[in-house]
A and B are shown apart, each in its own frame.
Chain A
Amino acid sequence: MIKCHSETIRTPLCDAVLAITSDTNAGIYMRENTFGHLNLRGNPTDKAFLSSIETVLALNLPLIPCSSVRSDVFSVYWLGPSDWLLMVPIGTESQVAADLRDSLMGQHSAVVDISSAQALVNLSGVKLPELLQKAIVYDCDPTHLPVGKVVQTTFAKTGVTLCRCEDGSIDLIICRSFSDYFTLWLRDASAEYGLAVVDACLSRPKVSAQT
């Protein structure tokens, strides 16, 4: 079992039947990273909206399709023309949401806490490219999915949001109720490569701001 964070919290992968392993020769490494997740809606052509966001987050919303922006504290993924995913340090989601709503008061916008609805899994390892070819119909070659690009697509028979990290690994966001299916599929597909599950971690790799 992936270690749970506190007495009251069980993240989506807690119940997945995955033993923590310390295999250093695995072809695939997997870790669950835990953040608060906020869904953000608003009008990207409205300067007031953009400025309200910038005031709270100290970064500019990504406006280019399928891009992302990061600071030391926050990551923002472009999900659609008026749709973003904001990831915040776990435990701060309520406060950040409240701050955003205050800043956006009177504007047509929405800030919705979906922290419990999703899990973020980081995959790395020498066999990652082939594994992704088994599960994902999107072209995950680094030339097509470079660092910082965000893609919503399918993973086997469920949905996934992908982002390439600076170290070449891939962050995958999966829906809570599909996490068991996801881990079953991942174990099956990586059986020929070896799968090592790293303990869940509250921090995430530090990367610089990107647009």
Chain B
Amino acid sequence: MLQIYCPYCQELREETEFSYSGEAHIARPLEPQQLTDAQWADYLFFRTNPRGIHHEMWYHASGCRRYFNATRNTQTYEIYETYPLGQQPALTCDIGGKR
């Protein structure tokens, strides 16, 4: 069971207070009607699903009910950082992260 730092409540909480919400930093296309089916499918269904560093969203369902982002290693489950919506991660694959 993970222990996750909620950036709003500003403390570590147990995973059971949260629910997972998929890959982060996916912006909804502003003009969906302009996209081809393939492009729309890419937004709708396809995810990077990496081994290693993953940026994902979590929802503090039994807490402050805010969504936030996390950078987690999908192999080791280590959570490197959590950060509010609208911010960029400090740790990415390109910036000295482990693979």
Q: Which residues of A contact B (CB under 8 A)?
A: 65-66, 79-81, 83, 137-138, 152-154, 159
Contacts and interface: CB of A to CB of B under 8 A. Distances in A.
> What does DSSP make chain A's interface, helix, strand, loop or mixed?
strand
A163 B30 CA distance: 43
A81 B8 CA distance: 7
A66 B17 CA distance: 15
A191 B62 CA distance: 27
Nearest to A150: B9
B17 A81 contact: no
A137 B65 contact: no
B33 interface: no
Given A137-B14, A138-B14, A152 B8 contact: no
A152 B64 contact: yes
B22 interface: no
B72 interface: no
A66 B9 contact: yes
Interface in B11-28: 11, 13-14, 16-17
B11 A153 contact: no
A185 to B, nearest CB: 16
Interface of B: 8-11, 13-14, 16-17, 62-66
A66 to B, nearest CB: 6
B17 A80 contact: no
B66 A154 contact: no
Given A65-B64, A152-B17, 11 more contacts: A65-B9, A65-B10, A66-B9, A66-B11, A79-B64, A79-B65, A80-B8, A81-B64, A153-B63, A154-B16, A154-B62
B49 to A, nearest CB: 29
A72 B14 CA distance: 34
B64 A83 contact: yes
Contacts of B62: 152-154, 159
B63 A152 contact: yes
A181 B65 CA distance: 23
A115 B78 CA distance: 41
A80 B65 contact: yes
Contact of A80 (B11, B13, B66): B66
Nearest to A80: B64
A65 B63 contact: no
A154 to B, nearest CB: 5
A66 B10 contact: yes
A146 to B, nearest CB: 13
B10 to A, nearest CB: 5
A152 B60 CA distance: 10
Nearest to A64: B10
